[in-house]
Amino acid sequence: MRLFKNGRIAREETPDLLDADVLVDGDGMIFRVGPGIVAEEGVETVDCSGCILVPGMFDLHVHAREPGDEDKETIATCAEAARHGGVTGVVLMPDTSPPIDSGNLVKSVQDIVSETSSITMMQSGCLTRGREGKELAGFSGMVARGVPMLTDSGRSVSCANLLRRCMEYAKDFDVLVTSFCDTPSLTRLGVINEGEASYRLGLPGIPAVSQEIAIARDLCLARYTGVRLHVQQVSTRRGLNAIARAKEDGVAVTCEVSPHHLVLNENDVGDYDTSTKLDPPLQPSSDCEALVAGLADGSIDAIATNHSPHTEFEKSAEFASAPPGVAGLETGVLVLHDRFVRNGVFGWDVLIRSYSSRPREIVGLEPVSIREGKRAEFFVFDPEGETTITADYLRTKSPATPFLNQTLAGTIRETVFVLG
């Protein structure tokens, strides 16, 4: 048994923190929550003075690269990285080699997960066979295995008619359709947002309308078919506004944003730094402001890091050729605390709502909270500490992050979670 003493509990319902001790039993269940718990014999006391106990986060958009690209990351190292970042559950993307487009492949990943992962991991399935955007994948087998969503992850289904059919068919299974929104003919050769930064750096640009058009299209189709839709990696104000209007209109749509798109803008690309090369690309700062406001007021449902490990070798290529994407699991909470919670832009309640409760709700899981009788699934956060993000600090196999060598306010001391 472990007694987490003198800490404060963060909750979704209110920004206020609750002074309370938490007693966790040997099976990882929360035995008691309350002030002034006395440690009996055999109970390890963990001094949480000054610290905050935060319900474990849930990341809807994670690439663990297994099977196929184990050089970059494995399910085991991904789980380690997640725990290290206060994340106790993730949805794995199906863009592996081979892509996860059948029940058997889902099962093979689930087997690896149960053998090697220390956190909850759900495997999503492809919308189209092989992620090629030509034919429907076999939904029933995947849904039978419990996939929480179907997505071609990183690719938009460019044929509108095919996407429509995917949605209609998915509706029968009541499975969530998740869209990565871009318009390939506009994205083409682009590697950065089309605007002043792309001109200054002489890089081919992707106009923001590429994502906005795809969002608009997918919203129309979702309205038309009645399917539940989740939009990945919203990056612009206009895209967000379209989603907010669709919600008002009764469309069953949710959306996510990555911490990177909240705190970085296109001018952070600087000297061709590939750790700022993302898909979708970083936008002007006015979009960041709109996204932060959207997160605070709930128009954005979820935070999802799009944790995308690539080897150092790959990220060392010139900007135009380097693959987009960076590791995000270990820096998400820290960056959000450093930039927003610490400064009062929004509180722990918003963070928990958007990175813990709502994401679980979206995939049909119960939210996690620190209450008697529930499984212990939280992390101990020291807001007065500091974390310097170095390759040594990071547990991911591929430590490419735009926050490398930055010191962020706060420390994640420990993630308390034992899988049932």
Partner 1 sequence: MSDLRPRKDLLDIEGLSREEIEHVLDNAAPFKQLFQRSVKKVPTLRGKTVLNLFYEPSTRTSSSFEVAANRMSADVTNFTISASSVVKGESLLDTIETLQAMRSDYIVIRHQAAGVPGIVAKHTRASVINAGDGYHAHPTQALLDLMTFQEVFPDCAGRKIVIVGDILHSRVARSTSTLFHKLGTQVGVMGPSSLVPEGRHPFMKRLHDWNEVFDWKPDAVYMLRVQLERQEGHFFPGIPEYHRIYGMNADRIESMRRLGAYLMHPGPVNRGVEVTDEAMRYEKSLISTQVENGIAVRMAVLHWLKPQTDQN
Binding-residue pattern over the window 204 to 243 for partner 1, x denoting contact by CB under 8 A: xx--------------------------------------
316 lines the binding site for partner 1 (CB under 8 A): yes
Contact segment (CB under 8 A) with partner 1 among 10-18, 73-81, 129-137, 315-323 equals 315-323
The residue within the footprint of partner 1, chosen from 17, 272, 296, 413 (CB under 8 A), is 272
For 109, the token pair is: 């990943």
Query: Residue 125 has what DSSP assignment?
Result: B
Contact segment (CB under 8 A) with partner 1 among 28-36, 109-117, 121-129, 313-321 equals 313-321
The residue within the footprint of partner 1, chosen from 153, 198, 232, 357 (CB under 8 A), is 198
The residue within the footprint of partner 1, chosen from 317, 364, 372, 388 (CB under 8 A), is 317
Provide the minimum distance between the beta carbon of 391 and partner 1 in the complex, in angstroms, as a whole number.
17
The answer to whether 140 and 194 are in contact (CB under 8 A) is: no
List of E strands, 15-135: 18-19, 21-24, 30-34, 44-47, 52-55, 57-62, 87-92, 120-123
For 391, the token pair is: 């390759």
323 lines the binding site for partner 1 (CB under 8 A): no
| 102 SS3 class | coil
For 414, the token pair is: 């420990």
Question: Rg for the chain (alpha carbons), in Å?
Answer: 21
The residue within the footprint of partner 1, chosen from 25, 313, 364, 391 (CB under 8 A), is 313
The residue within the footprint of partner 1, chosen from 201, 209, 296, 419 (CB under 8 A), is 201
Pick the closer one to partner 1 by CB: 116 or 285.
Answer: 285
How many angstroms from the chain centroid is the CA of residue 383? 22
Instruction: Establish how many alpha carbons lie within 13 A of residue 38's alpha carbon, considering only the half-sphere containing its beta carbon.
Output: 2
Provide the minimum distance between the beta carbon of 78 and partner 1 in the complex, in angstroms, as a whole number.
25
C-alpha dihedral sign at 177, 73, 183, 331: positive
Pick the closer one to partner 1 by CB: 198 or 265.
Answer: 198
* Residues in 108-147 that interact with partner 1 by CB under 8 A: none
283 lines the binding site for partner 1 (CB under 8 A): no
202 lines the binding site for partner 1 (CB under 8 A): yes
Element (H, E) at 231: strand 229-231
71 lines the binding site for partner 1 (CB under 8 A): no
For 274, the token pair is: 């590939």
How far apart are alpha carbons 329 and 57 in whole angstroms? Answer: 10
Contact segment (CB under 8 A) with partner 1 among 132-140, 198-206, 328-336, 338-346 equals 198-206
How far apart are alpha carbons 130 and 197 in whole angstroms? Answer: 35
318 lines the binding site for partner 1 (CB under 8 A): yes
Pick the closer one to partner 1 by CB: 207 or 367.
Answer: 207
199 lines the binding site for partner 1 (CB under 8 A): yes
Q: In what order do the strands lie in the sheet with 253-257?
A: 149-150, 176-179, 229-231, 253-257, 302-303
Residues that bind partner 1 in the complex, under the rule CB under 8 A? 194-205, 271-272, 313, 316-321
